[in-house]
């Protein structure tokens, strides 16, 4: 019985146990599932130091005709070496075929099953996790620590470095899927080819959903009291972005800061107030900036900002031709208030 713990994953992938015949690689992060399947195949090749013949199967075909997989698993390769049977799990049960292979394990074949998210009580998962010749590798979305390690390793391997602002922005906008994360990092490396050090502006230029990044950067600059940065970001956004997203994000941040500030005023520690912000969806990479914003703003001043945003929303809806000057005045007001307690 093998359920591979996250801390053991890299070692397991590099040298899979010889007694394991069936590997179930599954989870909600499809990109990470694919990456670990590739690493597992590499580990099997390097462990046995022999050619590895690969054959692909569809799970629903196996369910309809189990003998095809069983015969293939016990077949002797005409070129010698091991055989790797990759199964893309479908909607039908393949348990009858797997039970036969687990109870009568082939000598020269290993079975890799690729699946999506499986509940703990799903029969296939229970079968693999409970058998001595099976191993289950679950692929959860990357944690903040996982993303940080991946970012650092990627840039170390490329002989490049990130400034603090670039790393912070990457951390805030990566991690939904391992494959997508790697694609974004690769895109950034290509875009900055020839640069030894990658800047925050490079990340803003190339990371997916750059319009949202630009808006978030503008909101952060306003609440941090950086008037020059507000002006520069607003001009860039107007030249190639969507200013319509600014007011909703301003209101979201003002409301979140106001709730956290009230917690501080009620005697709760700063760390507790910041944790409240994290639970509202603000990334850990924003912790330092949010801490400074909380210290600089009183609850009364934040309430004034909330009221001003509501008023700006009402004005731009009734008089859309005034949207630009109304947004300018609101941002400058927030930035002026953000720089002092």
pLDDT of residue 187: 83
Quick: pLDDT tens for 105-134.
998 899 999 998 898 899 999 999 999 999
Low-confidence ranges of the chain (pLDDT < 70): 1, 48-51, 77-81, 176, 208-213, 239-242, 279-285, 338-341
Task: Judge contact between 82 and 109, C-beta under 8 A.
Answer: yes
Token pair belonging to 108: 């020269």
Q: Range(s) for CATH 3.40.50.300 in the chain?
A: 2-138
pLDDT of residue 28: 85
* Burial degree of 74 (CB within 10 A; 0-12, 13-18, 19+): middle
pTM score, two decimals? 0.60
Token pair belonging to 266: 């009620």
Helix (H) or strand (E) holding 28: none
pLDDT of residue 155: 93
CA angle 103, 104, 105 (to 5 degrees): 100
- Over the range 184-211, which residues count as b (16 or more CB within 10 Å of their CB) and which as e? bbeebbeebeeeeebebebbbebbeeee
The CATH fold of domain 152-208:
Helicase, Ruva Protein; domain 3 (1.10.8)
Task: Judge contact between 95 and 127, C-beta under 8 A.
Answer: yes
Dist. CA 157–CA 170, nearest whole Å: 17
Task: Judge contact between 200 and 166, C-beta under 8 A.
Answer: yes
Dihedral sign (CA 85, 86, 88, 94): positive
pLDDT of residue 26: 93
pLDDT of residue 341: 42
Dist. CA 24–CA 334, nearest whole Å: 53
Q: Range(s) for CATH 1.10.8.60 in the chain?
A: 152-208
Token pair belonging to 334: 């927030």
Q: Which CATH superfamily is domain 2-138 in?
A: P-loop containing nucleotide triphosphate hydrolases (3.40.50.300)
């Amino acid at each position: 019985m093998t359920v591979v713990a996250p801390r053991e994953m890299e070692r397991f992938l590099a040298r899979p146990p010889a007694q394991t015949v069936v590997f179930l690689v599954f989870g909600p992060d499809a990109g990470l599932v694919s990456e670990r399947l590739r690493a597992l195949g590499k580990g099997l090749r390097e462990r046995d130091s022999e050619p590895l013949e690969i054959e692909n199967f569809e799970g629903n075909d196996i369910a309809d005709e189990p003998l095809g997989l069983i015969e293939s698993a016990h077949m002797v390769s005409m070129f010698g070496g091991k055989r790797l049977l990759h199964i893309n799990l479908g909607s039908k049960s393949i348990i009858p075929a797997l039970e036969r292979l687990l109870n009568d394990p082939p000598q020269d074949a290993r079975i890799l099953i690729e699946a999506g998210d499986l509940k703990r009580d799903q029969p296939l998962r229970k079968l693999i996790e409970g058998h001595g010749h099976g191993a289950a590798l679950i692929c959860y979305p990357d944690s903040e620590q996982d993303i940080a390690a991946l970012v650092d390793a990627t840039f170390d391997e490329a002989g490049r470095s990130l400034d603090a602002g670039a790393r912070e922005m990457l951390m805030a906008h990566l991690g939904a899927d391992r494959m997508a994360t790697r694609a974004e990092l690769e895109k950034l490396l290509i875009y900055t080819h020839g640069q030894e050090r990658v800047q925050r502006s490079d990340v803003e230029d190339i990371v997916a959903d750059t319009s949202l990044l630009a808006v978030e950067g503008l909101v952060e600059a306003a609440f941090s009291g950086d008037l020059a940065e507000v002006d520069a970001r607003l001009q860039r956004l107007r030249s190639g972005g969507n200013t319509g997203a600014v007011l909703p994000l301003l209101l979201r941040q003002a409301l979140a800061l106001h709730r956290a500030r009230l917690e501080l005023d009620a005697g709760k520690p700063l760390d507790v107030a910041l944790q409240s912000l994290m639970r509202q969806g603000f990334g850990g990479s924003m912790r330092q900036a949010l801490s400074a914003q909380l210290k600089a703003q009183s609850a009364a001043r934040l309430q004034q900002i909330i009221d001003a945003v509501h008023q700006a929303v009402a004005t731009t809806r009734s008089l859309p031709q005034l949207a630009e000057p109304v947004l300018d005045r609101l941002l400058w007001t927030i930035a002026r208030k953000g720089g002092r307690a």
